[in-house]
A and B are shown apart, each in its own frame.
Chain A
Amino acid sequence: MTPRTLARQLLPPVALDMFRRLGNRKYIWSGIFPSFESITPVGQAFSAETYARLSLDEARRVIRTSNRFTATPTEAVNEYAAMCMLSALACQQNGGKLTVLDFGGGLGVGYVHVLSSLGKHSAFSYHIVELEWACRAGSSLFPDDARIHFHASLPEAINGLDIVLLKSALNCIQDYAGLLKKLCGYRARYVLVSELFAGGFPTFASAQRGFDGTVFPCWFFNVDEIVGLMRQHGYALSCRGATEQVYNQDNFPADHRLERGRACQLLFSRLEPR
């Protein structure tokens, strides 16, 4: 048990909450800017040492745990539950074959969960587009597993793609419209956008604080803009929901905050046949 965990156990929740409110780490984002260029980045964002180390630890833990499941894969919960179920549905529709592109899929935690929650399947291929360090580290976690592929940039083409996953990644992409266009170009049956910071406000940028003192730009989207972009590229919104986590945005003007502090989830379906 770390001193931090011990303190959490010994302090009454009301005192802990007060401490958090008074502390400097209260807000994840600060400022409202028209563009990414208006924000001066500090550090290496998602290549920061602590972020990389924690991601690696988590991936190793998930792989270890998934090898011990008896009747139920117990770890594919929370934000992973929906993508696992959608994968199963797409696999069933495609006669037992499943191909997934996970943009910003880290070290393959999503892959482990999808694989362990999937029923009978005849073919499974999972492509992750990530930063260089993640591609190197990720590949070493799955030696001899031909089903998972790491790409440092978007692959030219992926045959028979069923699903594009975009989990908390779009917010960090400066040219988000360009990325959506490219991803829609694969003509996957479904595009699942999870943990998207979006609402009724006009799209704006903010400065996000990360590990090791990093600061990087992050988009808050007008949700209709994203839906409109997807429609331009042949995808219709099928359903919408939210994530459970509530963010504190008291430092934002009321009309620029996420509704109830929650990120949204959007499922898009391809309008026309491939």
Chain B
Amino acid sequence: MSSRTLLKQLIPPLFLDLYRAVTRKAYIWDGVYRSFEEVPAAGPGFNGDALAVPSLDQARDAIRAAAGYRSVATEVINEYWVLALLAAVAREQSPRLRVLDFGGGAGVHYVHLRSALVDASALDYHIVELDWACQAGPGLFPGDGRIHFHRNLPESLPDLDIVYMNGVLPYVDDYAGLLKALCAYRAKYFMIYSLPAGAFPTFASAQRNVPGTLMPCWFFNRDEIVDILSNEGYSLIHKNAVEHGYNQENFPETHRLDRGRNSVLLFSR
């Protein structure tokens, strides 16, 4: 147990909330900007150890947990279960199940998907990630030919079933360009999980919850994202939210997420 966790156990929630309310640390994002260039960015962002190390640890923990399952895949919960359902349905229409996970870290979603599917033999999982993940990732899955790491978008991925993005689009400056490039794979399904989106116009903000880093982050107009995918031949078939709610009281009311929650959008071609 870390000292931070221990402290949280000893302090009454009321005082903890008060502390959070009076310190600016309660807010993850700061400012409303028109573009990434306007955000006073600093630090290594996603290339720093502050994000890479926990991401690798998370994948290792998932691999360890999965190896210990007896009758129930106990860690396939929430977002992992939702992806498993989508994959299971997509698998019915396809001899193999090919997934492109943009920003998939060290493969934690792959681990859970592999455990969830009754028949994972046909799985072909492609992760597009930064250098650190592409270097460390393959070492976590020795002898497993079903997972592939790419530093850039692969030239082609025929018969792609699912494009999956979880919490990554907000950090891509040219998000429209990326979405168009991903749509060009013509996957059957395109899922964007944990998207900060609402009825407000798209704006940038400075994200400050990663030690040593201040990075630009988009908050999207939801209809703009839907329009980009619609123009590429995709229809929105499902919209939802993730459970976690963020405190955005430092934002103008018009620029806050509905109930502080990110969106989940599922498109089909």
Q: A: which residues have CB within 8 A of B?
A: 8-14, 17, 69-78, 81-82, 84-86, 88-89, 91-93, 117-120, 190, 198-200, 223-224, 236-244, 258-260, 262, 264-265, 267, 269
Contacts and interface: CB of A to CB of B under 8 A. Distances in A.
Given A14-B10, A89-B86, A244 B77 contact: yes
21 contacts: A9-B12, A10-B12, A12-B9, A12-B10, A17-B9, A71-B222, A71-B258, A72-B239, A78-B243, A85-B266, A89-B85, A89-B266, A119-B236, A190-B89, A198-B71, A200-B71, A238-B89, A240-B118, A244-B77, A262-B74, A265-B81
Contact of A81 (B8, B11, B240): B240
A250 to B, nearest CB: 17
B126 interface: no
Contact of A242 (B74, B236, B263): B74
A74 to B, nearest CB: 4
Contacts of B87: 239
Nearest to A246: B74
Contacts of B75: 242
A239 B77 contact: no
A72 B197 contact: yes
Given A81-B82, A82-B82, A199-B70, A74 B258 contact: yes
A77 B72 contact: no
- Of B72, B199, B239, the most chain A CB neighbours within 10 A belong to B72
A112 to B, nearest CB: 13
B231 interface: no
B240 A85 contact: yes
Closest 8 CB pairs of A and B: A88-B238, A241-B76, A241-B81, A200-B71, A238-B88, A239-B88, A9-B14, A119-B237
B238 A267 contact: no
A77 B222 CA distance: 18
Contacts of A238: 88-89, 91-92, 117-118
A198 B89 CA distance: 23
Contacts of B199: 70-71
B241 interface: yes
A151 to B, nearest CB: 26
Contacts of A75: 241
A120 B72 contact: no
B73 A242 contact: yes
Interface string B84-120: 1111110110000000000000000000000011100
B92 A269 contact: yes
Nearest to B84: A239
Contact of B8 (A13, A71, A91): A13
B258 A81 contact: no
A243 B198 CA distance: 28
